Amino acid sequence: MPLIGLVVILLGLLAAACAPPPEPSAGGPRPPTPDAATVSPTVPERIRVGYSSTSLVILASLVAEQAGFYTAQGLDAELVQVAPQASLAALTTGELDYVLSLGSTVRAAAKGLPVRLVEASLRAPQFVLVAQPDIRAGADLRGKTLGVTSLGGTNFQTAQLLVQHFGLDPQQDVQIVGVGEESQLYQALRLGRVQATPISPPFPVLAEREGYRLLVNAADVLPLPQTGVGTSVAKLDTQRAQVRRMVAAEIQGLRFVRAEREATIALIAERFQMEREVAARSYDLVLPSFSTDGRLDREGLELLLSLDQALGALDVVPPLESVADFRLVDEALALLDR
């Protein structure tokens, strides 16, 4: 089904949320009627939402925008691409209302910035460890060079944890080198400059087509949250109802991603200009990374902060309540499911 047609159907369903659901169309599965109607302003509230990169990590937010879930929650949302550090500064000044940057939000809050994490869309990274064809198992990584985007970032942390997953020491058994953005990582793998790299779709799909080996999907083994909604303490104090509705829209996006495979694949193919087959394989690889309900995982957040401490980015791991508001998701779920 063409994406424009899909969006029209979705918006129509939003308008019919309180009516009996329409019959499925003959052309394919019917997108679900959005969750129960919520109390929202008559005039949509204008909000600006910052994100760092256009990738599948913000898929639930792209769905919320395209399917009208923000609108259903009384929000006129503008998604704006902003570098992580700049987005956190803009959050505190009110230039942005929300950010889709879990790690940066948590780190900033841990250092005393008046921001909080309120939702987690990704329960795990979307990286797949791709290796040269002759590397058949994790143990074969011993003595090899792994490429990452940069030393100290999320990609680097994932590489270390995946090496540990295979029973190896990331400090002694492998060499980890910074290469650059993911397109450069992919080329470094193809040129033989690195023997393995954790990389996100569509690159694992393209590599698989060329005979490279997918050793492990990080989403299957690492409880390390990655993307979620952050906002300012001031917003929480003065506009908590709006924050609740923002989180509700993200949860609706998460539900749609999990429930509607074909419609989501169509969106991926259109938005990221992928072949349908590449979009489908990418969807299957990233699906395990998505949360079912946006809840914040304490163990995962503690792991994230502990890794930052080990890298010297934090002196101590602060109480989790000082970096996240754990009540917002429950409030949003009550709003949706009442």
What does the pLDDT look like over 133-168, one tens digit per residue?
A: 999 999 999 999 999 999 888 899 999 999 999 999
pLDDT in tens, 69-114: 999 999 999 999 998 889 999 999 999 999 999 999 999 999 999 9
Encode pLDDT of 299-312 as tens digits.
999 999 998 888 88
Mean per-residue pLDDT, 281-299: 96
Average pLDDT along the chain: 88
The model carries a pTM of 0.85
pLDDT value for 38? 46
Please give the pLDDT value at position 314: 82
Q: Provide the percentage of residues in the chain whose pLDDT is more than 70.
A: 88
In 3-state terms, the chain is what percent helix, strand and coil (to 5)?
45, 15, 40
| Predicted pLDDT at 338 | 80
Q: Give Cβ neighbours of residue 271 (< 8 Å, ≥ 6 apart).
A: 3, 62
Give me the half-sphere count of Cα atoms (radius 13 Å) on the Cβ side of residue 110: 21
User: Per residue in 111-127, pLDDT tens?
Assistant: 999 999 999 999 999 99
Residue 41: the pLDDT is 66
What distance in Å separates the CA atoms of residue 231 and residue 97, rounded to the nearest whole number? 6
Look at 5-9, 21-25, 81-85, 159-163 and tell me which has the smallest mean pLDDT.
21-25
Express each pLDDT in 219-233 by its tens digit: 999 989 999 999 999
Contact partners, residue 296, CB within 8 Å, separation at least 6: 117, 119, 120, 225, 228, 324, 326, 329
In the chain, the domains with their CATH numbers are: 3-124+224-337 (3.40.190.10), 128-221 (3.40.190.10)
